[in-house]
Amino acid sequence: MTGAVDTAPALQVSDLRTAFFTDAGRLDVVDGVSLSLRRGEILGLVGESGSGKTMTGFSITGLIEPPGRIVGGSVRLAGEELVGADRARLRALRGRRIAMVFQDPMMTLNPVLRIETQMTDALRAHERIGRAAARARARDALVEVGIAAPDERLRAYPHELSGGMRQRVAIAIALLHQPDVVIADEPTTALDVTIQGQILALVQRLCRERGTGLVWITHDLAVVAGIADRIAVMYAGRIVEEGPVDDVLDRPAHPYTRGLIASVPVPGRRERLPQVPGRMPSLLELPPGCAFAPRCAYAAEACLARPDLVPVGPGRAVRCHYPLVETEAVR
Amino acid sequence: MKPPALIEAHGLSKVFGEGQDLVGRVLSRFGLERPPRQVHAVEDVSLAIREGEVVGVVGESGCGKSTLGRMIADILRPTTGEILHRGRPLGARRREKGAGLAVQMIFQDPFSSLNPRKRVGDLIGEAPRVHGIVAADELDDYVESLMERCGIDLAYKGRFAHQFSGGQRQRIGIARALAVKPELLVCDEAVSALDVSIQAQIVNLFMDLREELGLTYLFISHDLGVVEHVCDRVLVMYLGRIVESGPAAELFRAPSHPYTRALLAGVPRIERRRTVYAPIEGDMPSPLAPPPGCRFHPRCPLATARCRAEAPALREIAPGRLSACHLDDTPA
C-alpha cells in the first residue's frame, strides 16, 4: 500500500524469553527466539506440539497470561518496542498494527454478537468512523475474503456460519486495519482440504497486495512449503534452524528438520517411513545441552553442551554441533 | 480367481434424524406434512474388502466416511443394506460367541477412547479375558507380547492412560484392538491428531502389523498423503456417496471425477513451493438439504444441465475403477 520501498523489518524479535512459573517448576516455553519479518513476507514457524511455536506467537502479540510472563528480550513492531509497553499502548497497537488469527475462529468471534456488530466494534475501537461507514467497510472486508452474500453474513451469528466461513470472518477482522503484521496460529488445521486451499489462496493474495508481514505458525511442512518465503523450525522452545524455504526443505542442516521432512510420505513411494525415534522431551526434564540429542542419530559428546544458532549461509542459521552437509536429497 | 471378500457391503444407507412425532403424524394425515429433518449420512454404498487389503476412504467432513466405518465395525446398524463377513450376514453372526470381534476399530482421539481409571495392562487385557481368548494364567504374557509388538515399554504396564502422550496412547489403543485377534481394523483418522514424527511411527506400526499378522484395514482419513502411502485401493466420498474408487496408485496419478481432481489439487505437498492455490469454490452443502442431481454439481466447474437434474450412477470406467460422473459418457 505504501509507495516507497520499506526496508526496515515489519517485525524484529530478539532473544525473546517467556517462562511459565508452575508448581512443578519453571518452564522456558520460549527460550531465546529471534525472528525478523519484512513487509509482505511470509515466515513459516514450524514445530510439533510442545515446541513453543504458539507461545512465541502469543508472546509477540502480548497475550501471555500468568503464571507465564515474558522474562527477557525484545519485540519491535515497525521499530516500536512492545515488551514492557503499557497496557493502553498494547491495546492501541493490537488489532490495528498487529493482529492474530487463531486455529479456532471462535477465539476471535463472540458467539452472542452478530458479525456486523463484531466487525464495526473492531473498526470503531481504533478509528473515528460512523456506524454507516463502518458497516460499509465491514461489508467490503467480507467481499475481500471471498464471502458471498455479505449483507446476509453481516446479520448472521457465528454459529450460523460454517467453519471455513468463520475463519474467513476472523481473517477479515484481522485485516480490517491493514496491520503491519499478522500472526496466524494454525488457521487451517481444523479445515477441510478444499477449504484450506481457499484460505491459503486468500492470505497469500492479501499479504502480497497489502505488504502485510505474516507469521504462519503450523506443524504442517507441506502448507508452509506452499506459502512461505522463509521457514524457522522450533524444538523445545528454541529455533533450531531457519532459512529460505527452498534451502531448508531441500537441504536441511539440522537432523531434526531432516527427520521431520523425511517422515512425510512421498507421493508414489510406499516403503517404510523414516522415523524420528522417541518424542519431544518435557520442558521440565530437558536434557542438558542440545534438547534433540536423545533422539538424534548423530549425537556425540559435544552435544552435551548447548549449541548456539550459528549462520551457515545467506539468511540461514542452524543450532547444531554437527550440521548436515547434504549431498543426497532428503526425499 | 480372486480370493473371497472378507467384508462385503451391499447398498448400505444410514439415515439419522427424528422419526415422525405425534404432531407430524397428525399433520401428515391431513396432508400438511412437514418433511422430517433427516440426514442421509451414507447413501447406497457398496464395497468389498478382500483379505489382506488396505482400503482407504477419503473425503471431507460430513461426507459420511466415519459413519461408513462405524457400520462396517458393527457399531452402528445400517438403515438399509447388509454387510457380509466371509459371506455371512453380520446380523446373524452377532449372536455367536466371539463373533463381532473380527472387526475392531481404532479411533482418532486416543484421549477419549481409553478409560482413564484403568491401568495399561487392564486396558489391553480386559477383552481377551472376558471373551476367553487366553487362559487366565497366560494373560500376563499375552498382554506383554502385545505391548512389545506395539512398541509400548513393558515398564508402563501399571500406569494409567492419562500419563501418556498422544502417540503412546494410540499404541495402547492399537494393542487393545489387537488383543481380540481381529481380522479387520477400521482406523478412523487414527493418525490425524498426531505430530508428524509420531504419525510416521504409527503408520509404520500399522504396516508392520499388516505384514506380521496379515491384517486387513479400512483406513479412513482426510489426510490424502497418508492414504496414498498406506492404501491399496481408495474410495472417495462426497455427501454420503462414493463418487470414485480405484487402485490407490492409479487414482492418485490420474483422478477421474472432478471432485477427486479438486481434492488432490488442493493438497499441499512439500514439493510444491510458493503454490498459487486455485481452489474449488464454495462449501460442501448441508447434508440436511443435499442438492438434486449430482451432489457435487454446485461446486463443479464442469457441471451441465443434466448434472443438476439427474444423479449419476457409479459405473466402471476402466478395469477396477469406478466413477459417478455424467462426463464419463462423453470421453474427452
* Chain B contact present for A222, CB below 8 A: yes
Q: What is the DSSP letter of B214?
A: -
What's the rounded mean pLDDT across residues A260-270?
87
Q: What is the mean pLDDT of each run of 10 residues along chain B (332 residues)?
A: 80 83 69 71 95 94 91 92 89 66 88 87 93 91 94 91 86 94 94 86 93 94 92 96 96 95 89 78 81 93 94 94 92 54
Please answer yes or no on whether B197 and A276 come within 8 Å at the CB atom.
Answer: yes
H helices, E strands: number in chain A: 10, 12
Shortest Cα distance, chain A CAs vs residue B19, angstroms: 25
Please answer yes or no on whether A222 and B229 come within 8 Å at the CB atom.
Answer: no
Kind of pairing between the strands at A310-313 and A80-81: unpaired
For residue range A11-46, list pLDDT tens digits in order. 999 999 999 999 989 999 999 999 999 999 999 999
Decide: B237 and B40 in contact? Cβ < 8 Å. no
Cell of residue A225, nine digits: 512449503
For residue range B176-231, list pLDDT tens digits in order. 999 999 999 999 999 988 888 889 999 999 999 999 999 999 999 988 999 999 99
d(CA B124, CA B175): 6
Please answer yes or no on whether B277 and A197 come within 8 Å at the CB atom.
Answer: yes
From chain B, the residues in CB contact with A196 under 8 A are 266, 268
What's the rounded mean pLDDT across residues A158-182?
92
C-alpha to C-alpha distances, A20 to A23, A28, A29, A59, A68, nearest whole angstrom = 10, 7, 7, 12, 4
From chain B, the residues in CB contact with A249 under 8 A are 270, 273
From chain A, the residues in CB contact with B226 under 8 A are 265
Kind of pairing between the strands at A68-77 and A80-81: antiparallel
* Chain B contact present for A234, CB below 8 A: no
Judged against a pLDDT cut of 60, whether residue A2 lies above it is answered with no
For residue range A41-77, list pLDDT tens digits in order. 999 999 998 899 999 999 999 999 999 999 999 999 9
| B11: three-class secondary structure by DSSP | strand
What's the rounded mean pLDDT across residues A289-296?
94
Residue with cell 444407507: B13
Query: b/e map of B256-282 (b: 16 or more CB within 10 Å)?
Result: bbbbbbbbbbbbbbbeebebebebbeb
DSSP string for A130-145: -HHHHHHHHHHHHHHT
Interface of A with B in 183-202 (CB under 8 A): 192-198, 200-201
Please answer yes or no on whether A220 and B201 come within 8 Å at the CB atom.
Answer: no
Shortest Cα distance, chain A CAs vs residue B216, angstroms: 17
d(CA A159, CA A150): 16
Decide: A266 and A83 in contact? Cβ < 8 Å. no
From chain A, the residues in CB contact with B253 under 8 A are 268
What's the rounded mean pLDDT across residues A211-217?
95
Judged against a pLDDT cut of 70, whether residue A282 lies above it is answered with yes
Interface of A with B in 244-303 (CB under 8 A): 245-246, 249, 259-261, 263-265, 267-270, 272-277, 279-280
Give the nearest partner residue to B268 out of A164, A222, A280, using CB atoms: A222
Neighbours of B103 (CB within 10 A): 25
Please answer yes or no on whether B268 and A275 come within 8 Å at the CB atom.
Answer: no
Percent of chain A with pLDDT over 70: 96
Give the nearest partner residue to A260 out of B197, B203, B274, using CB atoms: B197
d(CA B106, CA B191): 10
Judged against a pLDDT cut of 90, whether residue A148 lies above it is answered with no
Please answer yes or no on whether A225 and B269 come within 8 Å at the CB atom.
Answer: yes
Please answer yes or no on whether A201 and B253 come within 8 Å at the CB atom.
Answer: no
Among A184, A164, A46, A265, which Cα is nearest to B221's? Answer: A265
What's the rounded mean pLDDT across residues A312-319?
92
Among B55, B49, B106, which Cα is nearest to B83's? Answer: B49
Among B24, B103, B16, which Cα is nearest to B62's? Answer: B16
Backbone phi and psi for residue B46, each to the nearest 5 degrees, phi listed first: -120, 140
From chain B, the residues in CB contact with A195 under 8 A are 60, 279, 283
From chain A, the residues in CB contact with B196 under 8 A are 48, 219-221, 260, 263-264
Decide: A70 and A17 in contact? Cβ < 8 Å. yes
Chain A interface test: which of B277, B284, B299 (most A C-beta within 10 Å): B277
Interface of A with B in 148-177 (CB under 8 A): 162, 164-165
Crossing angle between the packed helical segments B258-265 and A193-210, to the nearest 10 degrees: 50
What pLDDT sits at residue B317? Answer: 94
Q: What's the ipTM?
A: 0.81
d(CA B9, CA B76): 14
d(CA B194, CA B2): 36
What pLDDT sits at residue A189? Answer: 83
What's the rounded mean pLDDT across residues A185-203?
86
Shortest Cα distance, chain A CAs vs residue B205, angstroms: 10
Give the nearest partner residue to B270 out of A195, A221, A273, using CB atoms: A221
Please answer yes or no on whether A49 and B203 come within 8 Å at the CB atom.
Answer: no
From chain B, the residues in CB contact with A227 under 8 A are 274-275
Please answer yes or no on whether A225 and B167 come within 8 Å at the CB atom.
Answer: no
Among A64, A48, A84, which Cα is nearest to A183's? Answer: A64
The whole model's pTM is what?
Answer: 0.87
* Chain B contact present for A64, CB below 8 A: no
Band of residue A109 on the pLDDT scale cut at 50, 70, 90: very high
* Chain B contact present for A312, CB below 8 A: no
